Amino acid sequence: MNFSKMHGLGNDFMVIESIKQDFILNQSIIKKLSNRNTGIGFDQLLLIEKSNNLKFDFHYRIFNSNGNEVEQCGNGARCVGLFLLLKGLTNKKTISLSTNKKNIFIKFIADNNIKVNMNEPNFKLEEIPVSKKITSKNFCVKLLNKNLICSLVSIGNPHCVIQVESINNAPVKKIGKFLEKNSIFTHGINIGFMKIINKNHIQLRVYERDVGETQSCGSGACAAVAVGIAKNLLCDNVKVDLLGGSLIIKWKGFNYPLYMIGPAHHVYDGYIYI
């Protein structure tokens, strides 16, 4: 199986296509491949397939390092776009991808940046989804002797955003582990820790479901900005500083799509027998 190792601001991926090659993947194989000591090592595996819908160029699937399939990955979308271009699978400057949850559109722009239409953020609780105990998209959880205000949104995958006073001192691992598989989130949750610098600038750390804290999370950046704008705390053009670098998120508000702009990087190509 041929593959590429890629990353978006340090959020790293194994990218493969099943258009020109045949192979079989299962949860056990993906877990072995993701091992950073004995395998390729990655946060997510990205699989590109032929689209069964003529409206879309390709179909795109995402698997976490534990082999679970998930709905969305913003950094991964940019890497998929670059992969398709580098491998000669398309020469289009705008690419349409179908996914298991939402469809996305990728556009190549100047300075090695890629713009992704992530669709409109969804604040409906049934789209998160959560247990019946939660009746509001903003709710309070008591942890570490503090009342944490959790704000929920779906960017095709579920996110919980918590505003913090210090990005460096935020107990990301403790809170992340507590909330990630909490029974109130029936399909798990990604947790973002957001520090607002000003209306056009935030800092963010993200604890990803099934993965732990990553260097960056594109959908997490989209979620944090969407929550900030919905609460009138942020403007419609926001720089998001993550551990691995920065993204630009643009959203005019409800009834408009949200856009993410950032780089993607190809590290190396390889092949492995499975």
pLDDT digits (tens, 9 = 90+) for 105-125: 999 998 779 999 999 999 998
Domain count, the chain: 2
Which letter, b or e, does each residue of 90-119 get, where b requires 16 or more Cβ atoms within 10 Å of its Cβ? eeeeebbbbbebbbbbbbbeeeeebbbbbb
Residue 40 has what pLDDT? 96
Q: CA-CA distance, 3 to 178, in Å (whole number)?
A: 35
Does residue 236 sit in the same domain as residue 184? Answer: yes
Does residue 52 sit in the same domain as residue 146? Answer: no
Residues composing the chain: 274
Does residue 165 sit in the same domain as residue 215? Answer: yes
The stretch 137-164 carries a mean pLDDT of 88
Q: Look up the domain containing 82 and give its range.
A: 2-119+263-271
Identify the CATH number of the domain in which residue 179 sits: 3.10.310.10
Residue 128 has what pLDDT? 87
Examine the pLDDT at 142 and tell me if it is beyond 80. no
Amino acid at 140: C
Residue 262 has what pLDDT? 97
Look at residue 80 and give its three-state secondary structure. Answer: helix
C-beta of residue 59 within 8 angstroms of C-beta of residue 49:
yes
Does residue 144 sit in the same domain as residue 219? Answer: yes
C-beta of residue 113 within 8 angstroms of C-beta of residue 45:
no
Does residue 211 sit in the same domain as residue 252? Answer: yes
Does residue 155 sit in the same domain as residue 244? Answer: yes
Residue 248 has what pLDDT? 98
Secondary structure (H, E, C), 154-217 = ECCCEEEEEECCCCCCCCHHHHHHHHHCCCCCCCCCEEEEEEEEECCEEEEEEEECCCEEECCC
The stretch 140-169 carries a mean pLDDT of 89
- Other Cβ atoms within 10 Å of 218 Cβ, number: 28
**Catalytic, out of 73, 79, 160, 222:** 73
Residue 209 has what pLDDT? 92
Examine the pLDDT at 138 and tell me if it is beyond 90. no
pTM, rounded to two decimals: 0.93
The stretch 6-12 carries a mean pLDDT of 97
- The whole-chain average pLDDT of the chain stands at 94
Residue 112 has what pLDDT? 79
CA distances from 23 to 38, 80, 116 (A): 20, 19, 29
Residue 258 has what pLDDT? 98
Examine the pLDDT at 155 and tell me if it is beyond 80. yes
Which letter, b or e, does each residue of 16-44 get, where b requires 16 or more Cβ atoms within 10 Å of its Cβ? bbbeeeeeebeeebbbebbeeeebbebbb
pLDDT digits (tens, 9 = 90+) for 13-27: 999 999 999 999 999
**Catalytic, out of 140, 217, 222, 235:** 217
DSSP annotation string for 211-273: TEEES--HHHHHHHHHHHHHTTSS-SEEEEEETTEEEEEEE--TTS-EEEEEE-EEEEEEE--
Tokens of 100: 């298991």
Does residue 149 sit in the same domain as residue 240? Answer: yes
Residue 220 has what pLDDT? 97
Tokens of 19: 């258009």
**Phi and psi at residue 206, to the nearest 5°:** -130, 130
Does residue 145 sit in the same domain as residue 232? Answer: yes
Does residue 98 sit in the same domain as residue 145? Answer: no
Does residue 75 sit in the same domain as residue 146? Answer: no
The stretch 95-101 carries a mean pLDDT of 90
pLDDT digits (tens, 9 = 90+) for 215-233: 999 999 999 999 999 999 9
DSSP annotation string for 58-73: EEEEEEETTS-EES--
Examine the pLDDT at 146 and tell me if it is beyond 90. no
Examine the pLDDT at 145 and tell me if it is beyond 80. no
Does residue 206 sit in the same domain as residue 170? Answer: yes
Does residue 10 sit in the same domain as residue 86? Answer: yes
Q: How far is CA 209 from the centre of its chain?
A: 10
The stretch 79-97 carries a mean pLDDT of 95
The stretch 37-42 carries a mean pLDDT of 96
When pLDDT is cut at 50, 70 and 90, the band that residue 102 belongs to is: confident
Q: Is 73 a catalytic residue?
A: yes
Helix (H) or strand (E) holding 153: strand 146-154
